[in-house]
A = this chain, B = another copy of it.
Amino acid sequence: MAVAPGWLAAQACQRVLKRAFSLHKAHSIKDMENTFQLVKNIIPPLTSKKHKGQAGRIGIVGGCQEYTGAPYFAAISALKVGADLSHVFCTREAAPVIKSYSPELIVHPVLDSPDAVHEVEKWLPRLHALVVGPGLGREDALLKNVEGILEASKARAIPVVIDADGLWLIAQQPTLIQGYRKAVLTPNHVEFLRLLEAVLTDPVDSSDRRGAGLRLSQALGNVTVVQKGEQDVISDGEQVSALPSWLPLVRAPSQGSAATKPSRSTAAPPLPPT
């Protein structure tokens, strides 16, 4: 007898969902549905009443001689989860490469220019949020420019997500985001330990991830801290939540930065045909 295509499609979807969760035994389809609902609440509905830009205009600060992949993943992921426009502010040399990954990005080769702060600042009135750090590197001149960009963003009360080498900068100068409640830090394990050491004067038991996250957030004046890991531990200095990451396990660069990159499977360029 014939098998209805709809039935086959449903089976296929179920297989995909099951596979997505196969390495996360603790999760259920219900968990994923709850997560989808949360995400749905955040993302503006797609409607013909809106014009381009109203569903989100995001800026990424990063991309240098060595690193071009990380800012690309951050920028394209913003588009893939619903934002309308994604800008990358990177060095002159990194720009053509990042541009070449996707024609959907707007890439500004300004981060190593003498007036980098001004060049980024003039875009700030048009941006809803800034991600600082993916592929930034640790060159002094660039970090100096990022200091200025952070100050300008704070002056305009723009929400800032700080990741990767942006967190290296914060560990050197925690005052840069001290008390700025619109900052979200997204450290991995190593970055979290570095921040603890830089910010807390007393010793702290880092194996108590919830307690350590709460204390770090408090010491920084209630910036939100998202410790990435098997469980993402999130604190704003008042509450702590631990959420099992529902992302598929992936290797390679995108693995470390789930906070700004949904996953390699959704953000990477298409796989070659088989």
How many copies of this chain?
2
Task: Compute how far the CA of A253 lies from the CA of B46 in the bound complex, rounded to whole angstroms.
Answer: 14
A237 contact set on B, CB distance < 8 A? none
Interface centre among A65, A72, A82 (most CB of B within 10 A): A65
Residues of A within 8 A of B (CB): 1, 3, 5, 8-9, 11, 14-16, 23-24, 46-49, 51-52, 55, 65-69, 72-73, 79, 82-86, 93, 96-97, 99-109, 188-190, 229-230, 245, 249, 251-256, 264-266, 268-274
Q: Which residue of B lies closest to A78 (CB)?
A: B252
Q: Check A52 against B253 for contact (C-beta < 8 Å).
A: yes
**Are B79's CB and A251's CB within 8 A?**
yes
Q: Are A69 and B273 in contact (CB under 8 A)?
A: no
Closest 4 CB pairs of A and B: A69-B103, A52-B256, A48-B230, A100-B100
A249 & B105 in contact (Cβ 8 Å cutoff): no
A189 touches B51 (CB 8 A): yes
| A66-B249 in contact (CB<8A) | no
Please pick, from B55, B68, B251, the residue contacting A99 in the complex, using a CB distance under 8 A.
B68
**Contact in complex: B82, A251 (CB < 8 Å):** yes
B23–A15 touching, CB < 8 Å? no
- Chain B residue, CB-CB nearest to A6: B15
Name A107's closest neighbour in chain B (CB-CB). Answer: B66
Are A105 and B48 in touch, CB under 8 angstroms? no
